[in-house]
């Protein structure tokens, strides 16, 4: 589904004019993105749940020197479809 398809579907479902609906999907996505950045899970009823985990960065050992170093952590994303 493209952004244009989303705008058309939202306009039909809510009874809004298509021109005024065009700005709403980016605002919704910005709010979702901001919430995930704060670490809050997002649940969209009938669609699924999205969350972000922030585990501690891993510690690795350099085999040549034996020195332990901290590697930059990654931010795993998770999603579960509705059941």
Write phi, then psi, for 8 (nearest 5 degrees): -65, -45
User: Percent of the chain scored above 90 by pLDDT?
Assistant: 8
Region 39-66: mean pLDDT is: 84
How much is the pLDDT for 83?
Answer: 62
DSSP 31: H
**Beta pairing partners, 52:** 77
DSSP 16: -
Q: Tens of pLDDT along 6-34?
A: 778 778 888 888 777 777 777 778 888 88
Write down the pTM of the prediction.
0.52
Pairing mode, if any, of strands 42-44 and 77-81?
unpaired
11 burial (CB, 10 Å; 0-12 / 13-18 / 19+) is middle
CB 7 within 8 Å of CB 21:
yes
């Amino acid at each position: 589904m493209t952004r244009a398809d989303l705008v058309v579907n939202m306009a039909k479902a809510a009874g809004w004019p298509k021109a005024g609906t065009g700005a709403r999907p980016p605002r919704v996505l910005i709010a979702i993105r901001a919430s995930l950045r704060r670490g809050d899970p997002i649940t969209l009823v009938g669609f699924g749940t999205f969350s972000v985990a922030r585990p501690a960065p891993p510690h690795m050992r350099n085999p040549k020197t034996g020195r332990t170093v901290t590697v930059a952590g990654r931010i795993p994303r998770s999603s579960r479809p509705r059941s």
